[in-house]
Every structure is written in C-alpha cells, then in structure tokens.
Amino acid sequence: MAPAPETSRRRSPIPSTKPHKRIPQLAKLLHHRGFHITFVNTEFNHNRLLKSKGSTFLENLPGFGFQTFPDGLPPSDEDATQSVPALCESMRRNSLVPFRELLAKLNNSWVVPPVTCVVSDGVMSFTLQAAHEMNVRCVLFWTFAACGFLSFKLCADLIDRGITPFKDSSFLTDGSLEGPVEWVPGLENFLFKHILTFIQTTDPNNVVLSYVKEEIEAISKASAVILHTFDALECRLLDVLSLMLPPIYTIGPLQPLVDQISTKTMQNSVIYVNFGSFEVYTPSEIQELALGLAESKNNFLWILRPDLVKGNSGILPPGFTAETKDRGLIVSWCQQEKVLSHPSVGGFLTHCGWNSIIEGITAGVPFLCLPWSTDQPANCKSICSEWGIGLEISKNFKKDEVGMLVKELLGREKGRKMKKRAMDWKEQAATATACPYGSCFQNLERLVKEVLLK
C-alpha cells in the first residue's frame, strides 16, 4: 500500500487468498484516504473476482492496481471451491517466495511508489515475514467477528492442552462437545461444539488444525489487527482480545463506510437464502430446504451456486419450480448487500459466515441460521443467544422445520420481536460507522495515523 499524489506517497499491497469482498472494500477506503493500493490476490481468486465483477468498483481508479501470485495448486475448475486443506498446505509451502519477489518488484518499479505497509488477510502469516524483511509494517485483517476470532484462538489452546485432535470418534457421542469453555472470559455460555469446527477431528496430522495454530501464533508479530465488527456489538469479547493481541481496530460494517465515499419501509415478505461461497450440501439437504421454502408459502430469493451441491447441481424436488413460480426466484449470484437492504426482505436464511452476518446486521434483517463449519457455530450462538436476532435450524433438519421457522421469522410474534432487535442493531451499526465521530470511522482514522503512517 502507498498513498496519493503528494510529495511522499505511501503504498500498501493488500494480499488475499480468497475472493473476499471485505478486502476490496477496505482497499477502497484506504485509497480514498490517499494511499496508493496494490491489490494482491492469488491467480485463481483473481480470476473469480473478475468473473463475479467484484473488481468493477475499483477499476480505472488512479493509484489503484492489481497483482497476483500463484497459490501452488494445480489448475482447477474456477466455478468449484478449492480444497481448504490443500490450499493451507500449499500456501504454507509456496507463498513466501513469490510474495517476497512481488514486493521487491513493486519497490523497484518506476511506475508506483515504494511499499510502506502491508495489509494482509489474517490467515496469511507469510506476509508478516516478507514485510519484516523489508522493515515495513504489516497489519492483519481478520474478516471475522470477535467471537469467531476467539474460536481460532481457542482452537490453538485446545491443541496445546491435548484436547484436540480427539483420541477416537467417541467424542461425537459421549458428550465431549457439550462441555463448557470455562477458562475464557466472555465465552461463559459457549460449549466446545460452538468452537471452530476444525477441532472435531481425530487426525493427529490434520493440516487445517496445524495451519490455524501457526497462524494464531504468528499474530503477535503484526503491527495491528483489524476485526470486521463494531464495539457495541461485541464489547465484552473485544475487551478480552485486547489483552491477547497487538492493537485492535474494529472497522465494520465496511459497506456503510464505503457508501459514504460516494428510509425504508418494513414489508417483511421475502426470505433471502444464500449459503456463501464455499459451503457444499448434499442433494437431500437441498431438497429438504426447497420443500421447506415451498411449505412456508412465503416469497423467497435463493442464491443457488453452480457448485453448491455435492456431486451434482440444480437438484430440486419434482414440481418445486412449478409450485413456487409466482413467489420464488432462484439465481446463481446477486449483490447481497443491495438485496438485504431492500424493504421487502424480512429474513436471511444463512450459513452464518461472518460476512453475511455483518451485512444482515447492517441492513436490520433477522436470521435463520444453518451453521456448518469454521466460525459459523460461534456466530450462530451469538445471533440466537447473545443478540436475540435469529433462530437456529437443527443439523438434521427436515422440510417441516424449515417451513415452520420461515413462518415464525416472517410472520409471527417472535419474528416481529427479532426484527425490532435487528433494527436496533442496525442503528448501532450506523452510529459506529457515522462520519466523523463513529467508533469505526475513528478507528480507521487511528489505524492510518498510528500504524500505517507511523
């Protein structure tokens, strides 16, 4: 990263291993504050970013460029999700050298200013080593909630305590996952099953588990950490994390901050369904979801990715399309934030990825939660128990449960109360991002002055 058109421009390369829209949003905010930005992505994800038109709002900006580096994996279908274990292992082995060479190339360029700071995806600790070798600062951007981040931290703790990997598969049935997380302030109501799902393994050589531990241990070398949340939403957990980490800057929701660079009514008639970029479901799970949506008799918009279903795609129950043609729409992609802010959307059926949750909170939309992996159970726990703005779908769900919960969220008393609380959180998110006195706006200014320009 580097800044704008004055005598001494500062530059920040912003690398990412996944096509994460939060990274471009942060890049745009820093660019607006005068930094020259080089947005660095893996070749695979840069192609996905281009295909999804995720880079369109950054194109043709002076002082904003794109670079790529290889992730070390063989070529694969760009419409399919890369294997997380394979990507972790490959990034661990292969990323430092090409990223180091890229930084050197940028520093020797006559076209752009020298690198003064690296702002990196939180799970790319090789950027820390490369930045330290160049004697420039490195800020880690963790696109998770504070509760999700603590799940990562606890994952490393459980490895050190010898709890995970578990000795055998009996942990799934003997109540081990129902044990409380007693030693972490702020997580008194959390159980082991709410912690990062990577802990649920018996493999002593689990690649993802060891990768998470390495990434957590590397955080102490960062100049600062950015979390995509705001103070009022997770104040207790942020107090806990402040004792564990380098300086923390809560900067989120990002979209309202981006909107400031450039009254809605509540109809509550549409359930929006989207399970993110990576989760994969069985055909039977998709059929139960579809039948549940049909049974609810509510309007819906369903984002059905080409690679959402294991082994096949587009598997819907016979007659589903005909039955729901007047109240349902299925597409492969949409601009989620615009959809969530539409006055007709009354609920969000989600996998509980933090991106989706922070966008729903920003829009004042309550949730139906279907968490599967990583930080999603922790996010679900906060949504349903801590913030009171969502209902959880059971793991072995059937259509009747889905239909009932959609009706509950969109049309019954409990759903109306959740909508009211969701609107309260929306107001707090707006307060946190308000210019110039909101906490997130102020934290962004502090990050620039105290870290990036120091």
- Please say if the pLDDT value at position 205 is more than 90: yes
List, for residues 228-273, the tens digit of each pLDDT value.
Answer: 999 999 999 999 999 999 999 999 999 999 888 863 334 668 999 9
Token pair listed for 140: 């880690």
**DSSP-H helix ranges across 43-141:** 43-51, 84-94, 96-107, 126-134
Beta-strand pair 367-369/390-392: parallel
Pick the CATH number of 2-143+222-260+435-452 from 3.40.50.2000, 1.10.10.10, 3.30.70.20, 3.40.50.11540: 3.40.50.2000
**Amino acid at position 2, single letter:** A
| 186-204 average pLDDT score | 89
What pLDDT is attached to residue 269?
83
The CATH code for residues 270-430 is 3.40.50.2000
Rounded to an integer, what distance in angstroms lies between the CA atom of residue 199 and that of residue 177? Answer: 10
What pLDDT is attached to residue 263?
34
Backbone angles phi, psi at 34, to 5 degrees: 105, 0
What pLDDT is attached to residue 3?
38
List, for residues 34-76, the tens digit of each pLDDT value.
Answer: 899 999 988 888 887 777 665 555 555 778 888 999 988 888 7
- Please say if the pLDDT value at position 79 is more than 80: no
Asked whether this chain's domains 2-143+222-260+435-452 and 270-430 adopt the same fold, the reply is yes
Longest Cα separation, the chain: 66
Confidence band of 312 (pLDDT split at 50, 70, 90): low
Do 139 and 120 contact (CB within 8 A), yes or no?
Answer: yes
Q: Where are the domains of the chain?
A: 2-143+222-260+435-452, 148-206, 270-430
Of the given ranges (184-193, 383-392, 416-425), which has the lowest mean pLDDT? 184-193
Partner residues linked to 40 by β-bridges: 15, 67
- Taking the model in full, what pTM does it have? 0.83
| 283-312 average pLDDT score | 90
- Please say if the pLDDT value at position 80 is more than 80: no
Of the given ranges (174-188, 303-317, 318-332, 388-402), which has the lowest mean pLDDT? 303-317
Rounded to an integer, what distance in angstroms lies between the CA atom of residue 432 and that of residue 104? Answer: 38
Do 281 and 397 contact (CB within 8 A), yes or no?
Answer: no
| 86-105 average pLDDT score | 93
Give the whole-number percent of the chain exceeding pLDDT 70: 91
Mean of per-residue pLDDT scores for the chain: 88
What pLDDT is attached to residue 47?
82
What pLDDT is attached to residue 11?
53
What pLDDT is attached to residue 207?
93
Confidence band of 14 (pLDDT split at 50, 70, 90): low
Partner residues linked to 281 by β-bridges: 309
- Please say if the pLDDT value at position 18 is more than 60: no
Report cis status (omega within 30 of 0) of the bond before 98. no
What pLDDT is attached to residue 6?
35
End-to-end CA distance of the chain: 14
